Structure 1
Amino acid sequence: MSILKSLSARVLIALALGLGIGAFLGSSGNLPGWLASTTEAIGSLWLGFLQMTVIPLVFALLVVGVAAVSDAMSAGRLTAKALAWFAGLLAGAIVLTLLVYEAVLAAWPVDAESARLLVAGATGANAPPPQAIEFGAWLKSLAPSNPVAAAAGNAILPLVIFALFFAFAVTRLPDHQRTILVQMFDAVADAMIVIVKWVLLAAPLGVFALALTLGLRSGLGATGALFHYVLLVSAGCIVTALACYPLAALFGRVGPLRFARAIAPAQVVAFSTQSSIGTLPVMVECARKNLDVPEHVAGLVLPLAVAVFRLTSPVANLAVVLFICHVSGIQPTPAQFAAAGLVAFAVSISSVGLPGQLSFFVSVAPICLAIGAPIELLPLLLAVEVIPDIFRTVGNVTADLMVTTILNRGDKGVRVIAPETA
């Protein structure tokens, strides 16, 4: 974890240095012609290495994730109720995010010049809006006649649908065949994550090259858009976490103050580690000692939640994509919004619960591809993701404990926790 923290610091420093040096050289008037093209090539090469892992990793994670959910469904009534709560909350979060963020960006738009400089500096030109998609054509495209061609063309939503069909088909196979396939795709996912880690080792160089290119083209004018982005995504995660308190009171009969005191130790660990997996032992302890959750409930619900339930994932990921659309001048069609929501749901239940540096690109890039947003801005946003990622993790941990509280109250044979007057 310390390596990842130091990586975050080095990437932020690389971003600041790249922007500063690029702005200085760009304003000096003595800019070598080869410098901009070379730095752009280095940044694009690093982005390409990241992008090459997206399709195989998403496919493999979906197969493994569906298999895990299928196994969990066979574990009993409490597990089925937990999965139902997970699915309902994620779907609600996606719908609200698509509605609210569009309204927020309309009421609080990014400075037009800063947005233009950010896009022009990252892509070399103002990104054109995608062509309007006719609903019938979009509907027909959901069934990929050639999944290989869909993967090659970055048609992410048809590929996700094929992956889900394939994953559910795998769960219907005899145990020995199912085990072989799940283990194979689990190994593929692990191998892709190793590649992502290797590529991220060069993140300071890649981000420096991209930021230097941005500084050469745009000076420091794009920093306002980056600051707007950090506030926008962080605010969404904070609001998501705060929404868990009234839900715990309404459905779990635990007052907001008691719930806040009970989960505070887990939130502190989540804030410092930026890892839901790393916070799991403290979550179990908080649930058992502070919320009176029996061991059999905490021991089942919390590990399952860490594995497949990340409530801030679709909120933050969609916020990133909608921000990119906003600064790029893209107005998605209803079909594209639907595609983005479906992909965000699939990604949220299959992405690993690790710090954002490992999961940011593979979680957000598929949604960008689904909605037609340029992915060239993602490396620059990755550089400042360390701040929103803190609130992502805190929100996820809060949501995990909220659902555990609700399921504890509904579990038969468990003492109902009386509502608090606070």
Structure 2
Amino acid sequence: MTISNPIRILIGLILGLLLGIIYSSTNNEFMTFLPGFVTPIGVLWVNAIRMIVIPLLMALLITSIVGRGASVEVAQLGGKTISLFLLLVFFSAMFAYTTVPPLLGFINIDPSASASLIESTDYDTIGINELPTLSDWLVSLIPTNPFAAAVDEAILPLLIFTGLFSMALLRIEKKEREHIVAFFGAIKSSMFVLIGWVMLLAPIGIFALVFPLAANLGISAITMLGSFIVIVCSLISVLMMLLYPLVVTLTDIPLIKFTKTIAPAQAIGFCTRSSLASLPATYAAAAGLGIPEKVTGIVFPFAVTLFKYASPLARTAGTYFVAFLFGIDLSVLELLAIALAIGLLSFYSPGIPSGGLLIMTPVYLSFDLPVEGIGILIAIDLIVDMFLTMANVTANIASSALLAKRF
């Protein structure tokens, strides 16, 4: 009996979690080398994924735009893509606005524990100074050196250059254009072969990523922060699951096929906490669902750089929790304004660790919330971000399925 790759990946994930928890509980001094031994394997596997991303993105975008041969058609798909992203982000923000405040009431705030937690937060470690200004971010969108942008993995500037390059190709002689398109078409095909090889190693890679994490965390006691983590991760899971009936209802994709096909991409997103690192598996899932490359070649580059479906929910919930923790009462209108502001800010995410949290600084300042509360959220962001990325990867695939049906 042959075990399918999604099942093998699930087995790797479960084994990594179970063995990591067992390791953390035994405290065997003769086994302390295990996390350090396993970690490089996971890093190597993630690096193998990341080396595919840049050439795959560029090749897909160029062949999708130039292959269509009609800039108006590409613009229409791009416009519908952005519109769908805005709609889903708004829904995520409103979901947070309506569900989080009542649930926070179930968390018992111990004044002494709260005071200790607040005092332990070092404002200087939050990294506010690392956050680029909006003007700096806008200037960086046009890369002075596309090759440097590729090396730095500055995806959005690189995609802007690639899009402009593709539009320019439509203006040159057909014979010259066909040579370039054939070249990038060959790159695209080669990258998909590499994706197949990397995915065969996914069970090992995911085990190597999850085991050290579980070994270090162990089974944490349910605390004030633990209760918040459970609430947020549960809500993110619900928000993600709402996409399933949406896809099944509005497309011809059966529920079982959708669930099974996207599982590997979800698992990789969960373990790597990176939509970008999940991109090869995301493309593979879309192909398995029969979504044409002419759609995914346009939608996914936008999705991994701009669209963060679950971020408004997670970041709004975090902001509400900080206000709750510091004893700050927010009016209904303030709660709504915070949700909408964070929803809009989710499209701007600097490429630094916890950048999605740091962009909330202007919101905190606007509503007189303690900025040091962001430090608390950064401390617990590891677990939340795993669920967050899994939901975002799911939304990327769901969006491409919906757009393929309508375009």
TM-score (norm 1): 0.54
Q: What is the one-letter code of the residue matched to 1:266?
A: P
Q: Cα distance 1:263–1:52, how it changes in 2: closer, same or farther (>3 A)?
A: closer
Deviation string 1:185-227 (CA, Å, 9 cap, x unpaired) is 54246436634653553321331122111228x5676876765
Tell me, what secondary structure is at the counterpart of 1:341? Answer: coil
Distance 1:60 1:182 in 2: 11
Q: Cα distance 1:43–1:159, how it changes in 2: closer, same or farther (>3 A)?
A: farther
Contact map agreement 1:150 1:159 (CA 8 A) in 2: yes
Q: Cα distance 1:61–1:399, how it changes in 2: closer, same or farther (>3 A)?
A: same
Q: Cα distance 1:302–1:376, how it changes in 2: closer, same or farther (>3 A)?
A: same
Matched, 1:271 2:259: yes
Q: Structure 1: where are the runs of 5+ without partners?
A: 117-125, 245-258, 281-300, 344-364, 408-422
Matched, 1:142 2:141: yes
Aligned to 2:84: 90
Q: What is the one-letter code of the residue matched to 2:77?
A: L
Aligned residues: 326
Q: Cα distance 1:97–1:42, how it changes in 2: closer, same or farther (>3 A)?
A: farther
Contact map agreement 1:238 1:391 (CA 8 A) in 2: no
Tell me, what secondary structure is at the counterpart of 1:202? Answer: helix
Q: How does 1:170-249 map to 2 (within 5 A)?
A: 174=176, 175-188=178-191, 190-191=193-194, 194-195=197-198, 197-198=200-201, 200-215=203-218, 218=220, 227-228=230-231, 230-240=233-243
Q: How does 1:313-352 map to 2 (within 5 A)?
A: 317-319=308-310, 323=314, 341=347
Aligned-residue identity in percent: 15
Distance 2:83 2:92 in 1: 14
Aligned to 1:5: 7
Tell me, what secondary structure is at the counterpart of 1:184? Answer: helix
Contact map agreement 2:314 2:388 (CA 8 A) in 1: no
Contact map agreement 1:276 1:393 (CA 8 A) in 2: no
Q: Cα distance 1:127–1:219, how it changes in 2: closer, same or farther (>3 A)?
A: farther
Deviation string 1:161-193 (CA, Å, 9 cap, x unpaired) is 344444545565621133213423542464366
C-alpha RMSD over aligned residues: 5.5
Distance 2:379 2:187 in 1: 29
TM-fit CA distance, 1:393: 9.1
Tell me, what secondary structure is at the counterpart of 1:69? Answer: helix
Q: How does 1:392-403 map to 2 (within 5 A)?
A: 395=398, 399=402, 403=405
Distance 1:94 1:265 in 2: 20
Tell me, what secondary structure is at the counterpart of 1:143? Answer: coil
Distance 1:171 1:200 in 2: 42
Aligned to 1:41: 36
Q: Cα distance 1:272–1:220, how it changes in 2: closer, same or farther (>3 A)?
A: same
Q: Structure 2: where are the runs of 5+ without partners?
A: 115-123, 263-284, 323-337, 359-377
TM-fit CA distance, 1:65: 2.5
Distance 2:253 2:137 in 1: 47
TM-score (norm 2): 0.56
Tell me, what secondary structure is at the counterpart of 1:133? Answer: coil
Q: Cα distance 1:324–1:211, how it changes in 2: closer, same or farther (>3 A)?
A: farther
Q: Cα distance 1:52–1:163, how it changes in 2: closer, same or farther (>3 A)?
A: farther
Q: Cα distance 1:382–1:209, how it changes in 2: closer, same or farther (>3 A)?
A: same
